[in-house]
Amino acid sequence: MYRVEERGLSNTTSYRLYLRNSQGQILSPFHDIPLWASESQNVFNMVVEVPRWTNAKMEIATMEPLNPIKQDIKKGNLRFVANIFPYKGYIWNYGALPQTWEDPKHTDELTGYVGDNDPIDVCEIGTKVCTRGEVIQVKVLGTLALIDEGETDWKIIAIDIKDPEADQFNNIDDVERLKPGYLAASVDWFKRYKLPDGKPENQFAFNAEFKDKDFAMKVIKSTHAFWKALIMKQSPTKGINCTNTTVSGSPSLCSEPDAATLLNKLPEFGMGDSTAANLDLWWYGKKN
């Protein structure tokens, strides 16, 4: 249904990954991919940014036209997460729900903190290791409310509907029953993943308690409403780029020729630097 188009050199700051649909139309993974794959069955599209076990902190570039996936930059360098013992890279397929947005001007009444100015994050817990830029269909099981540097950063827990065990997972309690320890490991990972960078442990709302499917659905619908308001604005908020190719009525709607021109200005894809050897090392720190 969707295919990727890479530009720039891999493992460099020039790397970008764009998406096209089956007709070859260029899409924004933030704005053009529908939130629901099946609204009647509550099945959602998820854009995979970071495949499980990998370290490169890839993310939808919310402030660039057509919002390609790129690697986060910190102090001029590509950003990687450390292997925090006993974990290797990200411990889920990590990505985002398209057509959602955590409004940085809105104080969440549930957490008491403003949104983080990004699409809502998803941790997909199935058995398949996905690929970067893949769009999969997931069902939602629950959510965790991370408080990241004073901002609400919801983490949706979901599973690929094509997973062999998907029928057995219908709510957050099923994760603990069928994958014991996975939820606790997820909290531990989010709490400690910034420690190797010299930052303090992350905090959580609700005492790091996972909320159930119904709660998560309300969060998703709320962030979808914020996105709807965003995409129809003449001047989007906080530097967000709303360039899209399919959203009818959006002031930022872009023609296919203009989208193609944008991509054609970028260098063709090629192999760049090799990954650093230290990405295979474990970081051993104090576990509270």
Q: Provide the domain count of the chain.
A: 1
Give mean pLDDT, residues 154-182.
Answer: 98
Classified as helix, coil or strand, 125 is coil
Q: Residue 286: which pLDDT band, with cuts at 50, 70 and 90?
A: low
pLDDT at 136 over 80: yes
pLDDT, residue 276, reads 75
Q: How far apart are CA 156 and CA 216, in angstroms?
A: 7
Q: What is the pLDDT of residue 278?
A: 80
Residue 287 pLDDT more than 80?
Answer: no
What local confidence, expressed as pLDDT, does residue 216 receive?
98
Q: Does residue 283 sit within a domain?
A: no
Q: How far is CA 14 from the centre of its chain?
A: 20
Asked whether residue 282 is assigned to any structural domain, the reply reads no
68-75: average pLDDT: 94
| pLDDT > 90 fraction of the chain, expressed in percent and rounded | 90
Surface-to-core class of residue 153, CB atoms within 10 Å of its CB (0-12 exposed, 13-18 middle, 19+ buried): buried
CATH code, domain carrying 238:
3.90.80.10
Q: Which domain holds residue 118?
A: 2-273
Q: Which range scores top for mean pLDDT: 105-114, 153-162, 197-206, 226-235?
A: 153-162
Lowest mean pLDDT among 8-17, 45-54, 197-206, 229-238: 229-238
Res. 123: pLDDT tops 80: yes
Percent with pLDDT over 70 in the chain: 99
288 occurs within a structural domain: no
Residue 165 lies in a domain: yes
Is 242 a member of any domain? yes
- Before 51, cis peptide (omega within 30)? no
C-alpha to C-alpha distance for 103 and 107, rounded to whole angstroms: 8
CA 169 to chain centre: 21
Whether 279 maps to a domain, the answer reads: no
Q: Is residue 254 one of the residues assigned to a domain?
A: yes
pTM, 2 dp: 0.96
Question: How many other CB atoms are found less than 10 A from the CB of residue 176?
Answer: 13
- Please report whether residue 280 resides in a domain: no
pLDDT at residue 85 tops 60: yes
